[in-house]
Amino acid sequence: MRVVTRADWDGLVCAAFLKLVEDVDSIRFIEPGEFQSGALTITSQDILANIPYRKGCGLWFDHHLSNKIDDHFEGAWWVAPSAARVIYEHYNSEKFSEFDDLLAITDRIDSAKLTIDDIKTPAGYILVSMTVEGKRLGDEDYWLRLIELIGMNDLDNLMKDQMVREKCALYQDVNEEFRRALLAYSNLEGRF
């Protein structure tokens, strides 16, 4: 089956989880707006995750209130902090038993429940999530690599990966440049 998802952290975790419980042979990334416009032919061999429903798919998993449908479908939808949580709870698989920490962090990332420290000094999965920009189609190899690493459930191994280290270093450099520009060219009035 093919997983069709968006290239954000939640979408990547969805794909990693689905690979653990379904016979996934490929992953296709697409932006929700493009998908809603009718791009991409969908068949019963497709699993849609973290994107709107499309009639004819085999399975659909989502958590966005705006995507709620009344039609019968296979899969699961409910309002949750992440689509990954919907998949996790729907399958209730032993294969997910070691992923509780990753799921909790994915919930925080996707529902924007990050602390000021998470934003100022991101680390671990939070830092890696900030390296994922779904609109950069040239990053598809990186997204696929992340899905493989996420599925291994080994944060240390993920953080040692050369591609991940390079993306994290680039993010931190750009973020620091932005911080310096804010300090040089803006003023804070009141309390943040």
The average pLDDT across 171-180 equals 92
Q: Flag whether pLDDT at 1 surpasses 80.
A: yes
**If you average pLDDT over every residue of the chain, what do you get?**
94
Task: Please give the pLDDT value at position 135.
Answer: 78
Q: Flag whether pLDDT at 187 surpasses 90.
A: no
Q: Flag whether pLDDT at 157 surpasses 80.
A: yes
Q: Flag whether pLDDT at 138 surpasses 90.
A: no
Q: Where residue 192 falls among pLDDT bands split at 50, 70, 90?
A: low
Question: Residue 32's closest CA among 47, 18, 53, 56?
Answer: 53
* 160 contact partners, CB below 8 Å, separation of at least 6: none
- Chain-centre distance for alpha carbon 102: 11
Summarize pLDDT for 17-35 with one digit per residue, the tens.
Answer: 999 999 999 999 999 888 9
DSSP reduced 3-state for 4: strand
* 63 contact partners, CB below 8 Å, separation of at least 6: 50, 77, 78, 79, 80, 81, 82, 83, 85, 86
Enumerate helices (H) and strands (E) in the chain, giving the number of each: 9, 5
Name the residue ranges covered by the structural domains of the chain: 2-183
Give the number of other CB atoms < 10 A from CB of residue 78: 13
Q: Where residue 184 falls among pLDDT bands split at 50, 70, 90?
A: very high
